Structure 1
């Protein structure tokens, strides 16, 4: 049943104005994280839906082509901000927003940070290996060895940071972060 069916036109207009403000804010916020504002608007619209929606329904709601809508939905699925769900009697894919903003934040940053972390750790480890080879090739050149040692020390410091970041990401993924920075509960 449509949640708005029991409301007057005036109530619907007021509700839609309020929702548009929030949806616009979500779009701007998502833009800060490297996600297009249109995908943020898509999530915002889905956030207010009481029931799962199809690509066609969201395409109509947002005035976007089905191709653009499909791309946006895929991006939100990759970010774990929406889920594909099963609907009895529906042959089309249905989607619903994940309403847990804490989890959305944790998933989004974990995905982005983990990718950067793995790339950077790989590059730093490779560089340390190359420094080791250079040390063996130039073991009698003290000035060069000193520079290599300094570079190796800086790379080791960077690796310490990435090991820390790895633990931070783990704490987001496991929810352990909330032991240190608790979510606000409904009683506050």
Structure 2
């Protein structure tokens, strides 16, 4: 392959990596994570932190942080390769699965956090209503409104949980096929 062809191919690969960075950013994840995701994806095989640092121009320390974030988001995993002593990291090669992992992780965390808050608020409001303290009519109306709002929030969170399950089970593909 000629040097000019190699340059053109590298430029196109860089454009793919830029798309990964931009796309992942729409999910609320830093473009840096997207670039590293793209680097591993375009490499088509697992990479070490050293290889990733060299390819991205980031320090090994920063790369370690980025890869840890990717593992926490379920978009990268540490893999074992017999006879290889350094940690290797790989990513899903299926765009759909990457989307599901990012979607499920982000929305699942949000749902869990909101569910806990909603239940806590519901309990506190119910305790106020059932306390022996006299409530004004206005306070009682406001508490009941907040209880209804909490019920609506918890219904939404339940729906969100089911939506995440819908994606994770891949049932989505029966309704919205990949091709």
Shift of 1:117: 0.9
For 1:95-136, what per-residue CA distance to the aligned partner results, in whole angstroms no more than 9, with x for missing partners?
Answer: 222111111111112111111111111111111112211112
Which position in structure 2 is the counterpart of 1:167? Answer: 162
Q: Kindly indicate whether residue 22 of structure 2 is the aligned counterpart of residue 28 of structure 1.
A: yes
Give the root-mean-square deviation of aligned CA atoms. 1.7
Using the TM superposition, name which of 166-175 and 145-154 deviates more.
Answer: 145-154
Which position in structure 2 is the counterpart of 1:59? Answer: 53
1:77 aligned residue (50, 54, 71): 71
Work out the number of aligned pairs and report it: 178
Shift of 1:140: 6.2
- 1:34 is paired with a residue whose SS is coil
Task: List structure 1 runs of 4+ shifted beyond 6 angstroms.
Answer: none
**Contact 1:59-1:66 within 8 A present in 2 as well:** yes
**Contact 2:74-2:105 within 8 A present in 1 as well:** no
2:174 aligned residue (170, 179, 184): 179
TM-score (norm 1): 0.86
1:9-158 counterparts in 2 under 5 A? 9-137=3-131, 138=133, 141-158=136-153
Shift of 1:67: 0.8
- Relative contact order (C-alpha < 8 Å, sep 6+): which is higher? 2
TM-score (norm 2): 0.90
Using the TM superposition, name which of 139-148 and 124-133 deviates more.
Answer: 139-148
Task: Name structure 1 gaps, 5 residues minimum.
Answer: 1-6
For 1:54-102, what per-residue CA distance to the aligned partner results, in whole angstroms no more than 9, with x for missing partners?
Answer: 1111211222211111111111222222222222321111222211111
